[in-house]
Amino acid sequence: MAKTNKIDVTAIAAAEYGRLVALYKSANVDEVKLKINDRLIQKVAEVFACLESIKDLPTIYIDPKNPYKQVETAAGKARVKYMAQYSAAMQKLNKDLLGTVVVDDNDLDDFA
């Protein structure tokens, strides 16, 4: 069963990697910048796949005898860590790859 889960996570990561690269290419990101950040894009895709694999797991266990007693599950703790890693890596990627891309289709002289 674990092997099936591994294949699914790998497939999700590959699909997310392809999606991210396609989006950056459609934003006219320089090929050299894409090559430099390729490993980071792969790692972001892997973290995304981990998030997807645990998204349906319960995050909090509620004691049936005492509903006020709640314990965070391992999946809940992992989700917080993975989400922080994913957010930080995406911010870095977007800053590095999109921070210098300026698409200015509207020339203000046309409106004068």
Distance of alpha carbon 29 from alpha carbon 22, whole angstroms: 10
Encode pLDDT of 4-55 as tens digits: 455 689 999 999 999 999 999 999 999 999 999 999 999 999 999 999 999 9
E strands of 11-101, at which residues?
Answer: 60-62, 70-72
Encode pLDDT of 57-83 as tens digits: 999 999 999 989 999 999 999 999 999
pTM above 0.85, yes or no: no
What pLDDT does residue 7 have? 60
E strands of 15-96, at which residues?
Answer: 60-62, 70-72
DSSP annotation of 95 reads H
Is residue 52 within 8 Å of residue 14, measured between CB atoms?
no
